[in-house]
Amino acid sequence: MTRLVIHRLLQAAAVIAVVATSVFVLLQFAPGDPFATSLDGTDVPPGVRAEWRARYGFDLPPAERFTRWAGALAHGQLGYAASQHRAVAEVLADAVPRTLLLVGVALALGFAAGVFVGLLQARHHGRWPDRLLGAMTLGGVAVPEFLLGLLAMTWLGARWRLFPVAGLASEGDAAAWSAWERLLDHAWHLALPATVLAVSVAARVARHQRAALLGVLQEDYIRTARAKGLGEWAVLWRHALPNAIGPVLALLGLALPSLVGGAVLIEKIFGWPGMGLTLFDALLARDYPLILAATLLATILAVLARALTDVVAEFVAPRRTQGGA
Amino acid sequence: MNPAHSRRLILALLCLAAACRGRDAAGAAGGTLIVSAGADAETLFPPLAVGNQGRAVTELIYDKLADIGPALNTIGDVGFVPRLAQRWEWSADSLVVTFHLDPRARWHDGRSVTAHDVQYAFAVWTDSAVGAAQRAAFATVDSIATPDSLTARVHFHVRTPEQFYAFVYTLIPLPSHRLAAIADTALHDAPEIRAPVGSGPFRFVSWTPRARIELAANEQYYRGRPKLAGVVFAVAAQGATVAARLLSGEADFLEQLAPPDFAQLPASGSVRTAAYGGFDYGFMQFNTRDARNATRPHALFGNAALRRALTMGIDRATIVRSVFDSLARPAIGPFSRTQWTADTTLTGIPFDAARAAQLLDSLGWRVGTDGVYRERQGRPLAFSLLVPASSRTRQASAVLLQAQFKNIGVKVTLEQADFNAFLDKAHHGAFDALMGGLRTTPSPRGVRDVWGTPTTGRGAQNWGRWSNATFDAHVDSALAATGTTAVRAQFRVAYQAAIDDAPAIWLYEPRMFAGVHRRVNVGTLRPDAWWASLADWSINPDEFLPRDRRAAAKP
């Protein structure tokens, strides 16, 4: 186990270094200027933009900028987000918890719903509930998140007014609300974006869970359990699921990066000021330090999640490394 | 005194008392206005707040010395209304203007606004270490003296017709007692800037970046407390979300409704529109110089006759109707109709596809072997059109232009770029033609930067590098003239020169329609700053929503 952890950490460090360098190099080829859009008035003298570029070292050669950036990073300094007139660390400190909350809730919702649907499909294998749910999960995988988000925002938010269209919390006398009321209000605002993000996770998990369960249900110990007189749900829940959950857990590690990616559009649609929206705005503004830091952080999160998933999978389904002994 | 006289006297006194109370006469003031905003303020530091949202918030928090009047005149001080300055007077040679500050004016922390704050703001704005974008506005200001705490004397080193406008429209006095101790290079992200203390009708409460900015009424405002209890700018980055917030009733105000939003207004039931003048115009700009070597003319658009023929081949009215329905008008020239120098009697190049085809034939561009596109000496009549992906209207217009150009045998390739890349290519002249859009200001001065021959002092934003001596000369004369009639006359000649020489195809001027919740009473929306009269907006108490009932935010 220790070897596995060390191996995964080394892999993670290499991936992070490669991603950071690649993003920095790619940004050099992207046309644009960090101060092009913010200082684009007819009344802005051209010299002002040059002054701002010089102030933050954008007039230096790329190699020198990379060296400076990497050196500062080694000292824990992420730089200055010129598009927001704030330190990058401050911007991320605001945005990251919101994205973690959104993605965390979406992951939990998607995982729970996916496992449940997979169980239902396995329980009714070959019959109409299986086929109906199969079609629905296929749809869930196929429909792009942004389209689902726009539809949900338009119909459930703007038209039927069941959920708020955007934002973190309702406007009103928040000071007079109890902690419980504030929590509920926050959850109400989180519901639509998290559910939209959860749909594709649930669909993927359900399809994998169904396949894994159907494989496990052929095993001898399942037949033995049934022979003992256990009900079908008990067999599924107590014997099949624990042995079929490992591949699905591994899937979650793979789902996290795409969830963070999906969060970019979902946060934009629902006005959820998390890391995705921050990254999107930073890209449009060519705010290089912020883009680099956000990309780096997203990479670290994805790599760590993957490593953690591998380790957890080892605990949940240890047979794989025990060679079936 | 008989009873009838007594009643009349009492009534007159009551009326007088009500009038003296000014805004307080509204009595049941309150309610919170939620503004659905498509972008966050980039900063709340006035010298760096150049975006529309940043300007809106900072100009609600901070007062200026004087504000432009409803006629949006920019010559002299005609029509300007007092704000922090109760009055002002000119020296005989017009090189000194003395502002007398309102002694009642206070910063939100209770300290008096002084002449030193005006002097300090000027120093900040003009310090290159601060990097204020609009410091060119103070190019004619020599210094500011403060004979006493309520008198600021502005010395100009040269007289210009717009010297007063340029100074008061740009300069916002800053609280020197809070900011002077901070190094100029550190001002832009100092904590004091993120929680500003201003002198305006609303005071800062909180800012959650990329989400919301909350302001509360300044109860001690020297010009009478605002009728609203507060204003919240609720930010969403997606255009559809910004509109949906208003249509669902979550927000009360949206600065500009897009054409697709109008179809949803009846279903919402709670939103009405408020029309106001706009300063925007859109155009397709030709690059008159070679994209790779600016010393050479562009192979196609260096020729004015070709530009005019292409302009003649475009049915602008149809494009405007298709993209905007009735929500825009065809543009006339390099200005918007809202600018006071606008002239609607100018003669444009009329749409005549047959005549355009004849002109192209006469220039040697004849329909080639494919029977569709024109060519000359084996070279096709083709160019690429740069379009910003961020603008739906410019994209739609570009597609229609492409189709209309095809009708006269011109091949157009659309090149989409995100806005930053679009600006980068535009600044470097790396394009054949582009879909441009401008938001002008009340001053017509900007036309020199956008359409003047690129050289020192002009043409900084002239991406097409068009050059016309007649235009330059008359713009210079207009900007030096002191009488409005003379200014208009000079601009008329300059604008006509631009229309005739066709550096661009003038496409559209959007009509501005704000979306407003029915419960909100808005005043007149000023074209350059819809928020200018926000302190006078009100919400009928009978129509308060739960979100209006909030405890007064603590100062």
Contacts of A149 in chain B (CB under 8 A): none
**CATH number of residue A89's parent domain:** 1.10.3720.10
Q: What is the mean pLDDT of each run of 10 residues along chain A (325 residues)?
A: 78 85 86 71 67 81 87 88 89 93 93 94 93 93 91 90 90 79 92 94 93 91 89 89 84 76 88 90 89 89 77 63 41
Q: Calculate how close chain B gets to A55, using CA atoms only, in Å.
A: 9
Please check whether residue B118 is in contact with residue B208, taking contact to mean a CB–CB distance below 8 angstroms: no
**Residues in A touching B438 (Cβ below 8 Å):** 42
A79 CA to chain B: closest CA distance, Å?
13
Cα distances from A268 to residues A289, B161, B250, in angstroms, run 21, 45, 17
Show the CA angle centred on residue B392, arms to residues B389 and B396, nearest 5°.
Answer: 105
Question: Would you give the DSSP letter of residue B297?
Answer: B
Predicted ipTM beyond 0.90: no
User: Could you give the 3-state DSSP secondary structure of residue A43?
Assistant: coil
Paired sense of beta strands B230-235 and B32-37, if any: parallel
Total tally of structural domains belonging to chain A: 1
Residue B10's pLDDT is 44
Distance from CA of A1 to the nearest CA of B (A): 43
State which residue of chain A sits closest to B462, comparing Cα positions.
Answer: A42
HSE of A231 in the Cβ direction (CA atoms, 13 Å)? 3
Which pLDDT value is given to residue B328?
A: 95
Contacts of A36 in chain B (CB under 8 A): 420, 423-424, 427
Q: Which residue's structure tokens are 């054409």? A: B259
Out of B244, B417, B446, name the one closest to residue A157 (CB).
B244
Residue B409 zone, left/alpha/beta (φ > 0; ψ -120 to 50; rest):
left
Contact A38 B50 (CB under 8 A): yes
C-alpha B516 chain-centroid distance: 20
pLDDT reported for residue A299: 86
Q: For B129, which DSSP code?
A: T
**What residue of A is the nearest CA neighbor of B213?**
A171
- The structure's pTM equals 0.87
Is residue B39 exposed (0-12), middle (13-18) or buried (19+ Cβ within 10 Å)? Answer: middle
CB burial of B79-94 (b: ≥16 within 10 Å; e: otherwise) equals: ebebbbbbebeeeeee
CA–CA distance, B179 with B387 (Å, rounded to integer): 43
Q: What is the pLDDT of residue B101?
A: 98
Q: Which residue has the tokens 């159907």?
A: A214
Contact criterion met (CB < 8 Å) for B236 and A153: no
Residue type, B71: A
Contacting residues of A for B133, CB less than 8 Å apart:
39, 41, 43-44, 48
Which positions in chain B touch A168 (Cβ < 8 Å)?
208, 211-212
Contact A248, A209 (CB under 8 A): yes
Residues of B within 8 A of A39 (CB-CB) are 50, 133
Secondary structure class of B11 (helix, strand, coil) = helix
- B433-439 and B374-376: which strand pairing? unpaired
Domain that holds residue A94: 2-323
Residue of chain A nearest B419, judged by CA positions: A284
Q: What per-residue confidence (pLDDT) applies to B18?
A: 39
User: Across the interface, do A161 and B209 touch by the CB < 8 Å criterion?
Assistant: no
Who among B128, B133, B237 is closest to A281 (CB)?
B237
Helices (H), A124-219: 128-142, 145-151, 179-216
Say yes or no for a CB contact (<8 Å) between A43 and B417: no
B418: chain A residues, CB-CB within 8 Å = 32, 284
CA distance A159 to A301: 36
Residue spans of chain B under pLDDT 50: 1-27, 552-555
**Cβ atoms B471, B501 nearer than 8 A:** yes
